[in-house]
Amino acid sequence: MKISVKTGEMGAVSADLLAIPVFRPAPKPGGKASKENPRLPTEAAQFDRTLGGIIQRALATGDFRGRPEERLLLYAPGASAKSAGVRVLLVGVGAPGELGLEGVRRLAGGAASEARERKLGRLTILAPRARGLRAEDCAAALAEGAVLGAYRYDRFKSNSRRRAPKPKAPATTLLFRSAEGLPGLRRRAKEAVWGAESQNLARDLSNAPGNELPPAGLSREARRVARETGLTCRIIRGAELERGGFSALRAVGSGSANPPQLIVLEHRGGPAKRKGAPLCLVGKGITFDSGGISLKPSGGMEEMKHDMSGAAAVIGALRTAALLKIPAHVVGIIAAAENMPSGTAYRPGDVIQSRAGKTIEVTNTDAEGRVVLADALDYAVKQFSPEAMIDLATLTGAAMIAFGPWATAAMGNDDKLVEEIRRAGEAVSERMCPMPLLPEHRREMRSTIADLKNSGGREGGVSTAGAFLQAFVGDTPWAHLDIAGTGWTNRRTPYHRHGATGVGVRMLVAWMQARVQQNA
């Protein structure tokens, strides 16, 4: 998506839609809401005079309060009956002290979404000004919001009726007041576009139907991303998986005609190019989860096409790391398989030997994510001796019940690492909530006939799943993120709509950058 940063007068821009942030008047002392109408930013007020004061008159009605996410579309008449008018979109951003970077992201997201909905090709967003809001951060958040807000998953919509081309994301201009620091604003906007487009790529992968994106399809996409951005990519499959001892991954994939694959993406940036323990990002890549022989109920099963959202986040994060040339060594490892019931499927009661050597009694074939991750985590630890390792997985319905789409469950064997991740998430408005991993959770996963069983009871489902994974990471500093609730949404927000969210990409990028800073 094309995003440019400009400075200058509002009257000088030619756009199909001009979005103006409008603050709600500060509340009265004592906290009561002000009865005053919202005021326009000075430059917008000047511009409004050239439009004949339509914005001020609309505000004078008192209908528009400037509340966060409130939107009002106005039309200023053109100079003559034949010349088209100007579309002005007022976007509420709350009281001046209320506006943070997430508000800025939402402002741009709402504007870009509105432009796309109305098939408008050129959007200009006036950058908001508020105390404590740095212009460069604002440019990044605006760019991010616009790219995410314009996202649609319309690959399978045929628009045969009028053969009109499908609407595209609007070319967007971010309009700043002063030319001060323009190169910095442009650089930050460009970097933010890379990150947000990587998040949209993760959404595309998760939204893709199971028949379109089986494990081999996920490999193909990873290879394509690697080729385009300079990552290295290695795919392990077939006999090589067998020789490598990936029996757990192979067991889960055995019910499907689409064989499992292990995808390894690698980024080497900066001075870490030569040596150094990497950061490992491990993703659950179940391209469709039917539950296997422990078949899921049919209602809502179609959503299980996004059971590779952890993998999608890993691909998005590595893509961004490559584009930003983050000076670190980062390895992405994806365990890709399809969980299907069939005559060749693994069964409840089976005992499988994991790559790590530990035996797993399968008590429920629907607890397949942890089984494939067992081999992927073991491979990461033994092959790369990582400095730190994070896995992302749509692992349990329990995480969705616990936090809904509002927070990711975070746990691990290293409180400092979990805290780092929580902070990185907070900085980019991806919420992570710490969950415990207790000795009792580990005990719950013991089997009577094997080393572990793959499914505990319903109690403490988020943590027992995490405790299972812990058995495969040894002493490596490790954190597990259960994105079962956050990877998918049915709620619309200014920059999310029904479907995959691409959660994890922004946090991982922020985390890698923080790590680099820390080591510098």
Taking the mean position of all CA atoms in its chain, how far away is CA 288?
A: 19
Which residue carries 């807000």 as its tokens? Answer: 149
Task: Give the nearest distance from C-beta 318 to ligand BES in angstroms.
Answer: 23
Residues 283-302 that bind Zn ion (CB under 5 A): 286, 289
Active site residues: 296, 370
Which residues does 232 contact at the CB level (< 8 Å), separation at least 6?
226, 265, 266
Report the site for Zn ion in 358-377 (rule: CB under 5 A). Answer: 369
Q: Is 117:501 a contact under the CB 8 Å cutoff?
A: no
Q: Which residue has the tokens 């050597």?
A: 357
Enumerate binding residues for ligand BES (CB under 6 A). 289, 307, 364, 366-369, 394-398, 400, 455, 461, 484
* Residue 437 Cβ vs Zn ion, minimum distance, rounded to whole Å: 20
Kindly determine how many residues on this chain lie close enough to bind Zn ion according to the rule CB under 5 A: 4
Q: Which entry of Mn ion, Zn ion, ligand BES, none binds 484, CB below 5 to 8 A by partner kind?
A: ligand BES
Q: Other C-beta atoms within 10 Å of 351: how many?
A: 14
Closest contact distance (angstroms) between CB of 299 and ligand BES is 12
Helix axes 182-207, 215-229, angle to 10 degrees: 160
366 interacts with Mn ion by CB under 5 A: yes
Complete DSSP assignment for 336-393: EEEE--STTS--TT-EEE-TTS-EEE-S-TT--HHHHHHHHHHHHHHHH--SEEEEEE
Q: By CB under 5 A, name the one of 289, 391, 444, 482 that touches Mn ion.
A: 289
Spatial contact of 264 and 285, defined as CB atoms under 8 Å apart: no
Nearest residue to 388 (alpha-carbon basis) of 303, 452, 312, 478: 478
Q: Considering beta carbons, is residue 365 or 476 the nearer one to Zn ion?
A: 365
Question: Coil, strand or helix: which one is 268?
Answer: strand
* Minimum distance from residue 100 beta carbon to ligand BES (Å): 29
289, containing H or E segment: strand 279-289
Which residue, 127 or 205, is less far from ligand BES as judged by CB? 205
- What the block records as the tokens of 482 is 């259960």
C-beta closer to Zn ion: residue 399 or 437: 399
List the beta bridge partners of residue 20: 90
Binders of Mn ion in range 163-202 (CB under 5 A)? none
Q: How many residues bind Mn ion (CB under 5 A)?
A: 2
> Segment near Mn ion (CB under 5 A), from 109-117, 366-374, 475-483, 495-503?
366-374
90 binds, options Zn ion, Mn ion, ligand BES, none, Cβ within 5 to 8 A by partner type? none
Q: Which is nearer to Mn ion, 366 or 420 (CB)?
A: 366
> Residue 366 or 375: which CB sits closer to ligand BES?
366
Q: Which residue is nearest to ligand BES (CB)?
A: 397
Q: How far is the CB of 464 from ligand BES (least distance, A)?
A: 8
Give the whole-angstrom CA distance, residue 320 versus residue 505.
Answer: 8
Instruction: Report d(CA 303, CA 310) in Å as an integer.
Output: 14
Contact 315, 225 (CB under 8 A): yes
For Zn ion, the binding residues (CB under 5 A) are 286, 289, 307, 369
For Mn ion, the binding residues (CB under 5 A) are 289, 366
